Amino acid sequence: MLAYLINRLLHVIAVLFGVVSVTFILLHLSGDPLAGLMPPGATPEVEAQIRHAYGLDRPLPEQYVDFVSRAMRGDFGDSWRQGRSALQAVLERLPATIALAVAATGLAVVLGTLLGVLAAARPGALVDLLARLAALLGQAIPAFWLGILLILVFAVDLRWAPSSGLNGPAGVILPALSLAAFPAATLTRLLRASMLETLSADYIRTARAKGLPRRQILIDHALRNAALPALAFTGVQAGFLLGGAVIVEGVFAYPGIGGLALDAVTTRDIPLVSAFVWVVAILILIVNTLVGLIAALLDPRLRETGALAGGAA
């Protein structure tokens, strides 16, 4: 366990260094960082003063070293638009986004597991066809378009849920459904294929020969082994959920870091964009580490072969 934690710590440091480096490069390749801040008709003297105030008049390598050294400590300076700590502005909205991501992940896992197991239990039957159709639709419909449809049906016509904002738990339902559709559909297809392969294994035939109930074979024997690929996919989907939340939060005017990131990109608020990318990267690393631990607990072979110490996930 200690070797695993040390390995993960080194992995986190390397990934964060790469993330902040790529962030710096992309932000400067996208054009003049002060293009959105420079007042119209500003004189060269005023422009020079503004560049000096933000430290953008220094050589690019010097700016890079300063940016990386501060970003690795979580220091991104003040937001150019809000005039306060960029990291603090992101962290204030982070709980709302985490609540949305957790709700979407829970919905995706529940729906994907239920449909995947039902489809695999009766391949070729009506329930299998319906599950595959639902999975196809879930993968084909964009999250923002699904969100608009949910607003029209459940907020405008039926008035069952608010159309925007975060007014209690009901405000999370529609955004979570929009965000969970694609991962739930992919989980359904992945778990169905994995379950069908597992159900043809020798130990499943042995369990059937012993007269074990069908439900016990499906849940206790087949699902536990078939869930490992789906678990790995769930860890990968952490990045999708957090990235997809940017668009979904914009559709629902949800007060999370996604809407904040959209505003920061629009106004070219570089400290705020950098803080957003850094926080999302850390969240993804945490989720992947937890997924690796859970996978090792589910499959003793990972512990026996030393996969845990080598950094599963």
Q: What is the pLDDT of residue 275?
A: 92
Exposed / middle / buried, residue 54 (Cβ in 10 Å: 0-12, 13-18, 19+): middle
Checking if the pLDDT of 126 tops 80, the result is yes
Mean pLDDT score, 40-44: 76
Length of the chain counted residue by residue = 313
Q: What is the pLDDT of residue 81?
A: 82
Q: What is the pLDDT of residue 312?
A: 40
Q: How confident is the model at residue 129 (pLDDT cuts 50, 70, 90)?
A: very high
Count Cα neighbours of 31 within 13 Å in the Cβ-side half-sphere: 8
Domain boundaries, the chain: 96-255
CA distances from 65 to 61, 75, 107, 165, 274 (A): 6, 13, 42, 40, 15
Checking if the pLDDT of 273 tops 70, the result is yes
Q: What is the pLDDT of residue 302?
A: 54
Checking if the pLDDT of 217 tops 60, the result is yes
Helix (H, G, I), strand (E, B) or coil at 299: coil
Classified by CATH at the fold level, domain 96-255 comes out as: MetI-like fold (1.10.3720)
Q: How confident is the model at residue 111 (pLDDT cuts 50, 70, 90)?
A: very high
Q: How confident is the model at residue 38 (pLDDT cuts 50, 70, 90)?
A: confident
> pTM of whole model > 0.85?
no
Task: Give phi and psi for 72, each to the nearest 5.
Answer: -65, -20
Checking if the pLDDT of 259 tops 70, the result is yes
CB 289 within 8 A of CB 230: no
Tens of pLDDT, residues 290-306: 777 776 676 655 555 44
